[in-house]
Structures are given as C-alpha cells and as structure tokens.
Amino acid sequence: MSRNRFQNDSSSFFPALPLGWREERIHDVAELRTSNVDKKSEEGEKPVRLCNYVDVYKNDKVTMDLDFMEATATDGQIERFALRVGDVVITKDSETPADIGVPALISESAPDLVCGYHLTILRPNENEVAGSYLFYAVASRLSAYQFYLAANGVTRFGLTYQGTKNLRIALPSVPEQGQIAAFLDWKTGQIDALIGKKKELLEKLKEKRLAVISQAVNRGLDPAAPLRDSGIPWLGMVPEHWEVKRLRYCAGLVTSGSRGWAQHYSDSGDLFLRITNLDRESIDLLLDDIQRVEPPDGAEGARTLTKTGDVLISITADLGSVAVIPQDLEPAYVSQHLSLVRLDTTAVDPIWIAYSIFSHAGRFQLRMAGYGGTKVQLSLGDIKEITFCHPSDIKEQKEVLSFVRTQTKRTEDLIELASQAITRLTEYRTALITAATTGKIDVRGMESPCNPNPEKN
C-alpha cells in the first residue's frame, strides 16, 4: 500500500487519510464508562485502590508503581469501573477547555484498582482498536481540538458523555496500529528523556538563583563581614551592622482586598490583580492574563488601589509568591487573596522586602505561619510579623540589590533558554503523535528497536 495515494473526503474530519484507513467515532470502537467512585471510605463497602485525576493527568501510562489512594467501593462499582490493561482513561473536566480530555494508558492493573471520579474509561473493542494506539490517537492535537470544542462551562469546563463519544479518530488496520504505537513509544521515550534532562537543568538553575538571592539579602556581599546571631533559628547569623526587624515597623499600610469583585468584572476599567498575577519564580508581576473591573463610586475595595512600590503577597495559596508594583503600571485593585504592603521607603527598599520574602528564610517563615488544614492561609497579622534583616543604609541596600539583579539576570537568561527548549520538545512530541496517528508518517518502512524488520513498500 503506497502512502503516495490518499483517499479524499472533504466532509471528513480527516480529509486525506492513507488508503485503507478509516475515520471512526470513539463510541463505535470503544465502550465509555464515566466513573462515579468518590474518595470516601464507607462502611460495608470493599477496600479498593483508586486511580484518580492526578494519576492520569501526570502520567502517560498507569502502572502499579504509582501511589494510589485507598478508598472503598460497592460490588457494582468494582465490577463496572475496575481497570483493565489496555483501557484508556481520560480526564473529563478542567479549569480551561484547552486542558481537557488528557489520556493515560492502563499498562498494569490489579483486581482492586478502580477508576476514580472525574475520569472516563475508554475500553477498546480489541477487534477494532488497540488500547496502545487509542491512547496516542486521543493524545493527538486533533483530539485535543475536538475536546476543546465539546467542553462546556464557565469557570470550570467539563466533557459530557455526548461530547466524549463523538470524538473522531483515524484508524488503520489493527496490526499497523500496533506498529504506530510501538514507534511512538520509542520516539516519545527519546523526547521525554531530553525533556527530563532540561527540567533537571531548569530546577538547578532556579535553585541557584534562589541561593544567590538568599545569600545576598541575609548575609550581604562581604564574606569577611563580622556576623552576629539574629536570635531567630531560621534566619541564623546576620551581618553585625544589619538590623533585624518585623515588617510592621516599616509598613504604613498592611491590608488585603475585599470580597465580591467578580460582580465588577468588565472588559474595560481598572486593573484587578489576583494570585495568578504573582509569579512563584520571580518578584515580577505576570500581566499576560489580566482582569479589569469597574467598581462603583465608594466601593469598599477602593482602599487597595495600588501605588508604585507597593508589595503584594499571596495569603491563601502559593505562600512565598510576592511582587512589587512597578513604576509604569497603572493603578490597580487587588483581590482578597493578596496582601498589600505599603512601606516607608526611606527605611527599606520595597524590592529588598520582596527578595527577603522570596528567599529561603522568607519562604520558610511563611510556611510555618500558614494555617487552615487543606487550604493554607495567612492572616494580615502574620504578614505584619514577617521578620527580615537589612542594612540601615539605603545605599548599601541598593548595592546588594544591584548585585542580585546582575547575577540573577544571567541565570534567568539560561532559565529562559531551558524553558524554550522544553516547550519546543513538547510541541514536537505532540506534532509527531498527531502525524503518526493521521497517516502522515509511514512507520512501516522505518527500522527501529520496536520494528527491526520493517515492511517494505
């Protein structure tokens, strides 16, 4: 069968498939089962291990090496939702429609391994489709686009049974499906290894940046400077001539935004800063995803209108996320999940405070102050008690900050290059899967560890 001859069908989702391939709905080649097994343990039910959302979202293949949650299920649930080798499980909801229908292949299983809530099992008809191929077909860019179109929701998006069963995939013969899946296992394994190395490099670079910042704002630049005990275990020794101070003594205002801002959302108006605008990896604001609001005159939240140099600190999630309002940013309101700190800038530079919170010592302090069980939170009192050290001389502060900016700029340039490489490799991986599962790559003629005796055309 020559790949130079394609069948053309303008009404098809795949208008140019190789001869012998066909287009099918998932519903016609696999059975769909949407799980209703929650994470609770009920008396009288049988103990099971749950394959949950995160197990699927973070892994291409589910094996028994994963740390599954223990729960219980009824006999009927176990019979219907017990996972088999070859099943494909997909996530059925997400915060964005572009991140939905993420698949994982069940490559190992056990009698007590059950599919958890928020997931749908695709159980292939083995005469029509191999589970290994189905996984890659669902992971393709074209499937992601179909899921995007089918997703319903406003703040959280979900796939209905109807939206899932109508997913269309391209199918060659079952033997060729096996060849394609084996080829993609081989190639994606190589790509994943490269991505893994880039991620390791990325983490080392981030740790190096954090170490530079922590050393500078807690010890200064002179390694020979005499030190004294700060009296605070997590801060340790500090330069002898530096002050140790609580944030309350250099802040003229420590507050947070009010509730109810969603009713004032608009496409125009003033900026509204949320936790998503704070970057866990730097003290710069993220402004790609920015919300605007039009509050009425006299609105209670008007007290949080920002000024240049204000420090924003996350108080309900990602403790340690901090940012400084830059000079060129228009005034903005802040959400109730952020603390706004307005400093006496004659005593301390706002960027010094931000880096102190960003440092190892600052992050440890915020984690220790956090409370709230499943949702870690900080009170405004906790923010006021943040303790840091600094030289009283503003000139010395600025010298240290200049050094930090110079050193971290070099590291951040390398971080950006590593991040770009990961993005490119991830995009190539998806493109390769899409090409192979739509017949754009003929794997039959490719010699590889997975296909040592390729079929010759």
> Minimal CA–CA distance to 27: which of 137, 144, 124, 157?
124
Packing angle between helix 360-369 and helix 174-219, nearest 10 degrees?
100
Q: Tell me how far apart the alpha carbons of residues 305 and 255 are, in angstroms, rounded to a whole number.
A: 11
Number of residues in the chain: 457
Angle at CA 388, nearest 5°, toward 382 and 391? Answer: 150
- What residues have CB less than 8 Å from 100, skipping those under 6 apart? 91, 92, 93, 94, 147, 148, 151, 157, 158, 159
* H-helix or E-strand spanning residue 417: helix 394-436
Coil, strand or helix at 177: helix
Residue 1 has pLDDT above 60, yes or no: no
Average pLDDT, the chain: 90
pLDDT of residue 377: 87
pLDDT of residue 368: 87
Tell me the domain boundaries of the chain: 22-171, 242-391
Give the E-state strand segments of 98-171 in sequence order: 103-106, 113-115, 119-124, 152-153, 157-158, 168-171
pLDDT of residue 370: 80
Average of per-residue pLDDT across 370-379? 73
pLDDT of residue 450: 60
Packing angle between helix 394-436 and helix 174-219, nearest 10 degrees?
180
Query: And the tokens for 303?
Result: 């007290």
Average of per-residue pLDDT across 443-456? 64
Query: And the tokens for 293?
Result: 């609001």
Query: And the tokens for 58?
Result: 């973070």
Domain 242-391 in CATH 3.40.50.1370: no
454: Cα separation from own chain's centroid:
39
Q: Tell me how far apart the alpha carbons of residues 184 and 211 are, in angstroms, rounded to a whole number.
A: 40
Q: Looking up tokens 């020979």, which residue turns up?
A: 224
Residue, of 270 and 3, whose pLDDT is higher: 270
Quote the pTM value: 0.81
Residue 7 has pLDDT above 70, yes or no: no
- Are 361 and 214 in contact by the 8 Å Cβ rule? The answer is yes
Q: What is the pLDDT of residues 298-310, one digit of tens each?
A: 777 677 889 999 9
Residue 285: CB atoms within 10 Å? 18
Q: What is the pLDDT of residues 105-157, one digit of tens each?
A: 999 999 999 999 999 999 999 999 999 999 999 999 999 999 999 999 877 89
For residue 254, the cross-strand partners are: 341
Coil, strand or helix at 350: helix
CATH code, residues 22-171: 3.90.220.20
Q: Tell me how far apart the alpha carbons of residues 1 and 445 are, in angstroms, rounded to a whole number.
A: 11
- What residues have CB less than 8 Å from 107, skipping those under 6 apart? 61, 62, 63, 85
pLDDT of residue 334: 92
Q: Tell me how far apart the alpha carbons of residues 226 and 241 are, in angstroms, rounded to a whole number.
A: 8
Q: Tell me how far apart the alpha carbons of residues 325 and 380 are, in angstroms, rounded to a whole number.
A: 19
pLDDT of residue 372: 62
Q: What is the DSSP string of 16-63?
A: EEETT-EEEEHHHHEEEEE----S---TTSEEEEEE-HHHHHT-SEE-
Packing angle between helix 141-150 and helix 394-436, nearest 10 degrees?
100
Average of per-residue pLDDT across 380-408? 94
Q: Tell me how far apart the alpha carbons of residues 324 and 326 are, in angstroms, rounded to a whole number.
A: 6
Packing angle between helix 350-358 and helix 174-219, nearest 10 degrees?
130
Residue 20 has pLDDT above 60, yes or no: yes
Residue 10 has pLDDT above 60, yes or no: no
- Are 160 and 27 in contact by the 8 Å Cβ rule? The answer is no
Q: Tell me how far apart the alpha carbons of residues 100 and 48 are, in angstroms, rounded to a whole number.
A: 26
Q: How far is CA 220 from CA 83, 132, 135, in A?
A: 57, 56, 53
Q: Do domains 22-171 and 242-391 have the same CATH topology?
A: yes
- Are 122 and 88 in contact by the 8 Å Cβ rule? The answer is yes
- What residues have CB less than 8 Å from 216, skipping those under 6 apart? 355, 400, 403, 404, 407
Q: What is the pLDDT of residues 56-106, one digit of tens each?
A: 999 999 999 999 999 999 999 999 999 999 999 999 998 888 899 999 999
- Are 435 and 441 in contact by the 8 Å Cβ rule? The answer is yes
- Are 122 and 89 in contact by the 8 Å Cβ rule? The answer is yes
DSSP state of 83: -
> Percentage of residues in the chain with pLDDT exceeding 70?
93
Q: Tell me how far apart the alpha carbons of residues 166 and 346 are, in angstroms, rounded to a whole number.
A: 64
